[in-house]
Chain A
Amino acid sequence: MSTQNLKIAIVIVCLLALLVLVPMGNSFVVLLATRAMAFAILAMSLDILLGFTGLASLGQAAYFGVGAYLTAYLANYYGFGLKWDFWLMIPIGMAVGGALAALFGLFAIRATGTYFLMITLALGQCVWGLAYRWNSVTGGDNGITLKGGRPQFGIDLTNDINFFYLTFAFFAATLFALYVLIRSPFGKSLLGIRERELRMRILGYNVWLHKYIAFIIAGAFGGLSGVIWAHANGIVTPETVVLTTSVDALLMTVLGGAGTLVGGAIGSAIVFGLREYVSTLVPWWQYVLGGVYVLTILYLPSGLMGIPERVRQWRNSQKKRETTKMTTAPSSH
């Protein structure tokens, strides 16, 4: 169990380092970190499905988008969520994300494997279609620009550093909440479903219900990340809910390591970093990102978080080879 505590300690140190170091950087770094953390919430919510339940969803952008659009719409047309009522926007965004997942889950949870992937993709594209075509509400291709800026309630969130702290708080809270979830009896049941669904049914679990609840939880946290994203970005367009966003979230999770929770956050940091940095250097930056994805899936199927385990295995095999050498050496003489 001490390795578990060590891991927790490392995560906490990394979080504190983030909290201290990022505000020292320039405004570009602060905004980049803010966006990466907002998106990391989405990636971690997806990891609950992908890594812990074994459901590869390609529609996570739907809940993200709904949270973001609702935030932008209410702020622009009703001025809602720009003062202290921003704190109401958070549970509203989560409820809407969760409610949409509750609806979509009715269709999606029946399927498994590739079929689940296809259905979530199709449902996600429905939301994108709505965002693109429902001009009167979503502003169509132009999207919605948050004219009122970020919320102000004593704390001025238009200040990027303040907004960074707020995003950090939600990021850390999500990490904590989902960590408790995965170690809870319910979280363990998701692992069981991932490993052997039939056995879980025979053990008395209503597998459908457990998956459905997990789907809704993932949707709710997707909605949360959308609310923050809307304010981080200042504009919400169909780009926010397009398939690429879902794919990004999925690939980030795989890149960092599915089933590790923090993997999604690491993946998000790397992708945002690479995208912003490499795109200033070369026009073909997307190939770099694509190459990173391909290499990860080929050589590190368990993601970056799987590296320590890889190293341990490699060391063990080295040790074994040495011991067999030692035992066989005298006999050859």
Chain B
Amino acid sequence: MSDQTSDVPVLELRHLSKNFGGLKATRDVSFRIMGGDRKAIIGPNGAGKTTLFNLITGIYPVSSGEILLFGKDVTKWQSHQRTATGMARTFQVTSLFPKLTVIDNVLLAIEGLRPTKFVMWRFQSSYKDVYDKAHRLLEQAAFLDRKDVEVRNLSHGEQRQLEIVLGLASDPKILLLDEPAAGLSSGESTEMAHFLNKLDPKLAILLIEHDMDVVFDVCADISVLHFGQLIESGTPEQIKNSQRVQEIYLGTG
């Protein structure tokens, strides 16, 4: 018990439920993610994976249950307050700032958790530390040569990568990735998996993904979501061999 912080889950869901009218999009979902964990949530289309992310990040209010970030109950908190605890996410549908340049996108992401975001009497360009950090992030992602390109002119694959760079810009302790490989070619997916595996091992990742190669490559712990319910959790091997999971994916469930 010497190191207390490592015992507190970075993210914990307790009996989380969400109803849209009569539709039960999330039913009694509970799990914990510890620091450095790499967990994936898979499931057929419409299983409620993105809804789950929207609940965790505070875009939707929950119907019942609790969300804890770093041991704190954040169920009633607004999105930006949750981000400030050390959480970041990416979006399934690319959500960048299309008319801004690559570097401006990254600068916005870095400023998000800094008090200087309210400064209005100094040029952004005069903040050297923010600029240096943006350069470092873009260098790591091999984007530096395209830093002055408007984001709408990037290819889809480049935009997917930049999504993750924006997610990393606030130095999160947990990163929620919503289908990072969506729309990528198989070569690009492999590259994405490599990129994710190279990230700081202390960073916890919660991943939603359809591309099973990426899931099996990155995550040691997989949960299967079906009609808003977690029905199976385990190692990649267990999930691959699970009778119930196969039934769901083959449509007999």
Q: Which of B101-159 contact A (CB under 8 A)?
A: 104, 107-109, 111-114, 116-125, 127
Q: State the Cβ distance, A191 to closest chain B Cβ, in Å.
A: 6
Asked whether any CB of chain B lies closer than 8 Å to the CB of A206, the reply is yes
Contact of A189 among B78, B111, B113, B125 (CB under 8 A): B111
Residue in B83, B98, B121 whose CB lies within 8 Å of A203? B83
The answer on a CB contact under 8 Å between B91 and A201 is: no
Would you call B123 and A205 a contact (CB within 8 A)?
Answer: no
Q: Which chain A residues border B98 with CB–CB below 8 Å?
A: 195-196
Contacts of B95 in A (CB 8 A): 196, 198-199
Binding site for B on A (CB under 8 A): 180-181, 183-189, 191-192, 195-196, 198-207, 213, 217
Do B80 and A206 touch (CB < 8 A)? yes
Contacts A191-B97, A198-B59 given; does A203 touch B122 at CB 8 Å: no
B28 smallest CB distance to A (angstroms): 26
B80 touching A204 by the CB < 8 A rule?
yes
Encode B75-86 as 1/0 by CB contact (under 8 A) with A. Answer: 000111001100
Residues in A neighbouring B107, C-beta threshold 8 A: 188
Q: Name the B residues within 8 Å of A203 (CB-CB).
A: 80, 83, 88, 108-109, 112-113, 166, 169-170
- In contact, A180 and B109 (Cβ under 8 angstroms): no
Query: Contacts of B122 on A, CB cut-off 8 Å?
Result: 180, 184-185
B interface residues with partner A (beta carbon < 8 Å): 57, 59, 78-80, 83-84, 88-89, 91, 95-100, 104, 107-109, 111-114, 116-125, 127, 166, 169-170
Contact at A192–B100, with CB atoms within 8 Å? yes
**CB within 8 Å for A202 and B83 given contacts A181-B120, A184-B122, A196-B95:** yes
**Docked complex Cα distance between A200 and B113 (Å):** 11
Chain A min CB distance to B183 (Å) = 18
- A180, A183, A205: the one contacting B112 at CB < 8 Å is A205
Closest residue to A183 on the B side, CB-wise? B123
Distance in Å from the Cβ of A178 to the closest Cβ of chain B?
10
Task: Compute how far the CA of A201 lies from the CA of B59 in the bound complex, rounded to whole angstroms.
Answer: 9
Instruction: Tell me whether B112 and A204 are in contact (CB under 8 A).
Output: yes
- B119 and A180 within 8 A (CB): no
Q: A195 touches which one: B91, B97, B125 (CB < 8 A)?
A: B97
Chain B positions within 8 Å of A217 at CB level: 120
Task: Label chain A's interface by main secondary structure.
Answer: helix
Complexed CA–CA distance, A198 and B91 (Å): 10
Q: What is the distance, in angstroms, from A207's C-beta to the closest C-beta of chain B?
A: 7
- Inter-subunit contact B100/A191 (CB<8 Å): yes
Q: Sorted from nearest, which 9 A-B pairs have the closest CB atoms?
A: A203-B112, A204-B112, A204-B83, A195-B97, A186-B120, A201-B79, A184-B120, A204-B113, A199-B95
Chain A residues in 8 Å Cβ range of B99: 195
Kindly list chain A residues whose C-beta atoms are within 8 Å of the C-beta of B125.
183
Question: Chain A residues with Cβ under 8 A from B121's Cβ?
Answer: 180-181, 184
Q: How far is the CA of A240 from the CA of B127 in the complex (A)?
A: 42
Most buried by B among A183, A184, A205, A207: A184
Known A200-B108, A202-B57, A204-B83: A185·B118 in contact at CB below 8 Å: yes
A192 contact from B84, B108, B170, Cβ within 8 A: B108
Cα–Cα distance between A123 and B222 once the two chains are bound (Å): 53
Q: How far is the CA of A201 from the CA of B84 in the complex (A)?
A: 11
Q: Report the Cα distance A155→B57, complex, angstroms.
A: 59
Pairwise interchain contact A180-B123, C-beta atoms closer than 8 A = yes
A180 near B170 (CB under 8 angstroms)? no
- C-alpha gap A196/B124 in the complex (Å): 19
**Cα A205 to Cα B79 with chains together (Å):** 9
Bound CA span A206–B117, Å: 10
- List the A residue with the shortest CB-CB distance to B111: A185
Expressed in whole angstroms, the Cα–Cα distance for A196 and B96 within the complex equals: 7
Q: Find out whether the CB atom of A205 lies under 8 angstroms from the CB atom of B100.
A: no
Could you say which residues of chain B place their CB within 8 Å of the CB of A207?
Answer: 80
Closest to B84 in A: A204
B113, B114, B124: residue with the most chain A Cβ atoms closer than 10 Å? B124
By a CB distance below 8 angstroms, the chain B residues around A191 are 97, 100, 104, 108
Knowing A183-B123, A188-B111, say if A202 contacts B89 (CB, 8 Å). Answer: yes
B80 touches A201 (CB 8 A): yes
Distance between B241 CB and nearest chain A CB, rounded to angstroms:
36
Which residues from chain B contact A181 at a C-beta distance below 8 Å?
120-121
Knowing that A180-B121, A185-B111, A186-B120 are A-B contacts, what are 20 other residue pairs whose CB atoms are under 8 Å apart, sorted by A's residue number? A183-B125, A184-B121, A184-B123, A185-B124, A188-B107, A189-B117, A192-B97, A195-B98, A196-B97, A199-B97, A201-B79, A202-B80, A203-B108, A203-B109, A203-B113, A203-B169, A204-B113, A204-B170, A205-B112, A217-B120
Which chain A positions have C-beta within 8 A of B78? Answer: 201, 206
Query: In the complex, A184 Cα to B122 Cα: how many Å?
Result: 5
